[in-house]
Structure 1
Amino acid sequence: MPTIQFSLNGAAMTVDADPDQTLLDVLRGRLGVTGAHFGCGAGECGACLVMVNDRAITSCDMPMWSVADRDVVTVEGLGTAGRPHALQRAFISEQAIQCGYCVSGILISAAALLKRNPSPTETEVRAALDRNLCRCGSHTRMVRAVLRAAAELAAS
């Protein structure tokens, strides 16, 4: 099996993997990084989103060969329990989490948006989260949380 090197949440990784195996399978099955979830398996629901070079990308249909020498960030890489990311704090404050299945992908979408645009409008936040499906109906609170996090980051 080929060796694939990439950065995962800031740490250098070397994985022996089938280059056509999906990033999601390797993250969850081989590396024990389980924040990204399997949803539709077709890159349509957003549950499996990770950031690759600061862009939100679906990991369920991303082959391992495509992450070679790239930076991958999962929801685990955004913050820790002791030092949560502003988005994580805002989602808790706004009670923007219900079942939680979609939240890791939504946090990744929001983090990628804030990297590109640190002061998004509500319309821009809604557009950035449009590809994330949430059956709990928490989108309004999630949008408020992203705007809250943007304001916190701008103030710091």
Structure 2
Amino acid sequence: MVLCTLQRELLDVVDKNESAVIVAPTSSGKTYASYYCMEKVLRESDDGVVVYVAPAKAVVGQVAASVQNRFTKRLPAGRTLCGAFTRDYRHNALNSQVLITVPECFEILLLAPHRQKWVKRIRYVIFDEVHYLGREVGVKFWELLFVIIRCPFLILSATIDNPDLLTNYGD
């Protein structure tokens, strides 16, 4: 597979455990970077978690199926490859290495005092289609998620009006 410049740069970001805001057109390699991130976490340990935050619960099932079909890994007893967590559906959420969820459910997990041991296992967070998210839940909600995560993250979007606001957040 021949990688474009954007994809090579994104893989370098993930390899260095850094964060990035990726604003690029559809079909330009954003999804490839997110799968590479998942693969890195799966390869590094049986305990690390990558959280994929989808914009809506309809996307959660699609992404979970894709992840389940893309990766295979033998895990210790009690652990699974992929989990899902929405308000209506919860499957292996805390026993998986790749958790696919929606923003409001991710917030619940991050803030729950009795889930902090799980939170410490998170190695990467991928926020997908961020350009849709502000419309549903509001900017203040996303600001909270960006502030409380304590690991590198990828923010993926086809269009963000002002990506500098995200890259300079916290300065």
Q: TM-score, normalised by structure 1?
A: 0.28
- Structure with bigger strand share is 2
| Larger RCO, structures 1/2 (Cα 8 Å, 6+ apart) | 2
